[in-house]
Chain A
Amino acid sequence: MTATSSNGLALMWEMIQIASSLRLPIVMPLVNRAISGPLNIHCDHSDAMAIRDSGWIMLFSENNQEAYDNLLMAHRIGEHEDVMLPVTVCQDGFITSHSIENIELLEDDVAKKFVGEYTPKHYLLNSKEPISVGPMDLQAYLFEHKYQEANAMRNAKNVILEVSKDFEKLTGRTYSLFEKYKLEDAEIAIVCMNSTAGTTKVVVDELRNKGIKAGLLKIRVYRPFPAEEIAKALSNVKAIAVLDRADSLNACGGALFTDVTSGMFVNNSYIPTVNYIYGIGGRDTTAKDIEGVYNDLIEIVKTGKVDNPYRYFGLKNRS
């Protein structure tokens, strides 16, 4: 186990790739904070997004309870023989990492029993079976090795669901690939991750009281990305906003937006979808901001038009 955040992670970008390619089931809490530059230190997801395609399983956590629970499950997921990949557990820097919340803890012996012992089949320190780790891997084999890694990531989805079921049996707390909050009959929906989901739930409740059918899809498992399941879960809404707490600076939307829309497209779901970049460098994200997003979605449903899919909220100066 190790833990990191922001620039410390950025410095180790090279090792992030190497750890997953060596199939080391490391568990690493990642407290999401802005990547320089300029230097900032406060919450956004630019650190996590910079390693999103590095062969690490990525779990996101709305609050401290989820961060704790995800961490306990992470070991079992990463160390599963069909997976053997590192796992990072994300949570929002300062917003949840430095806040005090009451959470339910497992007794040490119960937690230890759930996590289990790691007994790798092959390992560097086994003098009875000397192995080579991290050889030069050229044209003849790297492709196949990368394919194995990609398959491991595909396998991870079921393993995550299995482990989550076991965890539910133990604690009564339910986890899946994502959380659907009042999404079943929703007409407008927000897709987001981490603590913003908590704010969004409050707004959804308020809107529901006013008779507005708002819903939320909160990503828990970002890698592997459950594209098909997300497309299905969103298939009955009329307009969607995907919130990205990191700007991909690519003139075509944030990373989560690209993942969600591509997942929908491939699964033949064509629903008006807009992207909002928000909360960069710890910019506060208020219930009012989220309400504004839902209002925009209501407008889109009304007019059937999306004039600009690449949007921002909470930005002061646009010049």
Chain B
Amino acid sequence: MAYNLKEIVANKPPIFVSGHRMCAGCGAPVVARMIMRALREGDHAVVSNATGCMEVSTCIYPYNSWDCSYIHTAFECAAATCSGAEAAYKALKRKGKIQEDEHTKFITFGGDGGTYDIGLQSLSGAMERGHDMTYVCYDNGAYMNTGIQRSSATPKFADTTTSPAGEVIPGKMQVRKDLTQIMASHHLPYVAQTAAMANFKDLYEKSEKAIYTEGPTFLNVFSPCPRGWGYPTDELMKINKLAVDTCYWPLYEVVDGKYKITYKPAKKLPIEEFLRPQRRFKHMFKAGNEWMIEEFQKEVDKRWEELLRLEGLSE
């Protein structure tokens, strides 16, 4: 793929435009804008959005940040909604009511609550039915819109309003679900995990592949939340990079069942680097709580090694 990313950012119509009301320093709008930029010029997009921070701050009647067709129905069924629109599109094309040379791409955005938890069966169903659509989970690791409640994407030990770290519990008690692996187990043509890192190359390329691979595709995108995580708003890009360099959030893709890690940190950083700047992990650094960091590190290592093994098996 020969392209100049800087030119893309400067010249391509953004589709996800400014004026939305997401917080300063939020990862989600950055992610949405870059993914939508992967749409080829001349192609049309139908975006389906689950209820959550992104939806409530980008489409408040009568305003809208989406320069494309947009639909929101509910929290748990963004994938089902998108799949229905895609099925209708195919039917209309078959009947000649939509012209053959018209290209519409179907893209869904859901938060982790709307994807890992309440929307999981809707997502799984849409993927299994084989709709030609891309599902994007922007994972900020909690139900942020409603006040930072823990989800199955919340990492162990994170302090949330429903897993408050204190004398009774050390934050969230359970390890996080591995949704990307669950989606890979659907045997989809394209599954990837990515983050808005460095010059967005990884995110842009994976978005392009996901949107333009025929059939159901899935992207899990790391999406920091300064309000829920407690980092200074100007440190968004730093948090993204630390998540990847500590291998907390590995960048990889699964193409037709073959695993490929798309970025291997030259030096894998200790997990403290990622945890320290975030208020939600503050209690882990208190004297006597070293075991929490150790345990966290072990979990990260285990999952990273498993990924390396899967990549090795794919070779």
Please list the residues of chain A having a beta carbon within 8 angstroms of any beta carbon in chain B.
Answer: 14-15, 18, 22, 124-127, 130-138, 140-141
Contacts and interface: CB of A to CB of B under 8 A. Distances in A.
B89 A125 contact: yes
B203 to A, nearest CB: 24
A18 B50 CA distance: 13
Interface centre among B73, B77, B89, B102 (most CB of A within 10 A): B73
B104 interface: yes
B104 A132 contact: no
A130 B72 contact: no
A235 B75 CA distance: 48
B72 A135 contact: yes
Nearest to B15: A130
Contacts of A18: 73-74
Nearest to A141: B61
Interface in B14-71: 44, 46, 55-56, 59-62, 64, 66-71
Given A125-B46, A130-B68, A141 B62 contact: yes
Interface centre among A22, A125, A133, A141 (most CB of B within 10 A): A125
A124 B104 CA distance: 11
In the A-B complex, the 6 residue pairs with the smallest Cβ-Cβ separation, listed nearest first, are: A127-B44, A134-B72, A133-B71, A135-B61, A135-B59, A132-B70
A125 B61 contact: no
| Main DSSP-derived SS at the A contact region | loop
Given A15-B73, A18-B74, A125 B85 contact: yes
A130 B61 contact: no
Interface centre among B61, B85, B89 (most CB of A within 10 A): B61
B104 A138 contact: no
Contacts of A15: 73-74, 77
A197 to B, nearest CB: 36
Contacts of B72: 133-136
B98 interface: yes
Contact of B71 (A14, A127, A132): A132
A23 B30 CA distance: 33
B59 A132 contact: yes
B60 A136 contact: yes
Contacts of B59: 132, 135-136
Contacts of A136: 55-56, 59-61, 72
B175 interface: no
Given A15-B77, A124-B71, A125-B104, A132 B60 contact: no
Contact size class for B? Answer: 20 to 34
B245 to A, nearest CB: 36
A133 B74 CA distance: 11
A124 B69 contact: yes
Contacts of A134: 71-73
Nearest to A140: B61
Nearest to A119: B97
B2 to A, nearest CB: 28
B173 interface: no
Nearest to A130: B69
B5 interface: no
Nearest to A131: B69
A133 B69 CA distance: 8
Contacts of A124: 46, 69, 71, 85
A130 B44 contact: yes
Contacts of A130: 44, 67-70
B88 interface: yes
A134 B61 CA distance: 9
A219 to B, nearest CB: 31
B61 A138 contact: yes
B61 A137 contact: yes
Contacts of B64: 132, 135
A14 B74 contact: yes
15 contacts: A124-B46, A125-B89, A125-B92, A127-B69, A127-B104, A130-B68, A132-B64, A132-B71, A134-B71, A134-B73, A135-B59, A136-B55, A136-B60, A136-B72, A138-B60
